[in-house]
Amino acid sequence: EVEETARQPGSQRTTRVLVFACLAAFALQVWLGPGVHHAGFFSAMLAARGEPWRLITANLLHAGPTHLAFNVLGLLVLGGLLERTIGSMRTALVAGLGALGATLAGLLAGYDAMVGASGIVTGFAGALLWLELRLPERLPAQWRLPRRPFVAALLADAALPLLMPEIAGAAHLGGFAAGALAAALVTGPNLQRDPLRPAAGVAVALVFAVTGCTSSAGPPRRRASV
């Protein structure tokens, strides 16, 4: 029964929408210039002063083509695998909590400006690791991740800020933790077959709570990319 789920067609609507949004935002950055970045990057001070859209738009903007390429690749690989496993709606909730968890962690770390979808990517990684450790018997063999290489990749990502201080390591950690929490909230023993409504209500409440905490925080101090 578990292996049969791998042979069923799976939707990747959430992953494709996220990738398209990142590509479209970068195209606008190239076409219209730095004004797009200034209008959309995350700033706690500006968000608290009536510009809450920055909580969303900052996750779609990128510092350059290399930054964009790495994050799009992460969305396609990790997001595609997660969405095949738990479905589009649950993946959207993981993405939302991952993005806001990264934003809140970056704020607490004192970054005065952030852009990038890495919070969502690391949120997907956290969700996949939670599934791998908590529900391995419900995952088809071809969907399971080799644990040692996966953990090694996570450790390498955690070490990157030591070599490249401009990378928002705290935001990566926040997105990862929020993604794991989101997976725990929206995923039961039967993955996509479990009712979503009660868990989704808790996840949406957390999204609003994190949004409120982030928007009402004090002025930040450092600039970083995620």
Strands (DSSP E) along the chain, which ranges? 111-115, 222-225
CB burial of residue 204 (10 Å; 0-12, 13-18, 19+): middle
Which pair of structure tokens corresponds to residue 70?
Answer: 């790495």
37 in active site: no
Amino acid letter for position 159: A
67 in active site: no
Q: Which residue do the tokens 């970068």 mark? A: 26
Q: Which residue do the tokens 């799976």 mark? A: 10
Q: Which one-letter DSSP state was computed for residue 141?
A: G
Q: Could you give the maximum distance between any two Cα atoms of the chain, in Å?
A: 53
Out of 37, 62, 67, 172, the active site residue is 172
Q: Could you tell me which of 216, 166, 42, 34 has the C-alpha nearest to residue 112?
A: 42
CA distance 81 to 12: 9
The length of the chain is: 226
Q: Check the CA dihedral 224-153-72-58 and report its sign.
A: negative
CA distance 98 to 118: 9
Out of 37, 43, 62, 118, the active site residue is 118
CA 226 to chain centre: 10
> Which positions are catalytic?
118, 172
